[in-house]
């Protein structure tokens, strides 16, 4: 078992919910569903930090930081 794993790296750029692949990558990064990503973007905009903050305020894990 490799114990020297680095934290996951975020996808680059903004959170683009019109791009299914981008939305899925962000969902995986934050540990939430694509639907939660879509809701967060609609509420907070496309900035990843704003999306993460919204997810955290909603009680989601948004685990990666």
Spatial distance between the Cα atoms of 34 and 42, rounded to a whole number of angstroms: 12
- Give Cα 36 to chain centroid, integer Å: 9
Q: Where are the domains of the chain?
A: 20-57
Per residue in 17-63, pLDDT (tens digit) is: 999 999 999 999 999 999 999 999 999 999 999 999 999 998 766 65
b/e code 28-38 from CB counts within 10 Å (16+ = b):
ebbebeeebbe
* Residue 7 scores a pLDDT above 80: no
pTM: 0.80
């Amino acid at each position: 078992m490799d114990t020297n794993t680095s934290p996951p790296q975020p996808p680059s750029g903004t959170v683009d919910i019109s791009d299914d692949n981008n939305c899925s990558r962000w969902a995986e990064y934050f540990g939430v569903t694509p639907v939660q990503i879509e809701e967060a973007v609609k509420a907070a905009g496309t900035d990843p930090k704003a999306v993460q903050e919204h997810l955290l305020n909603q009680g989601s894990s948004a685990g990666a930081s």
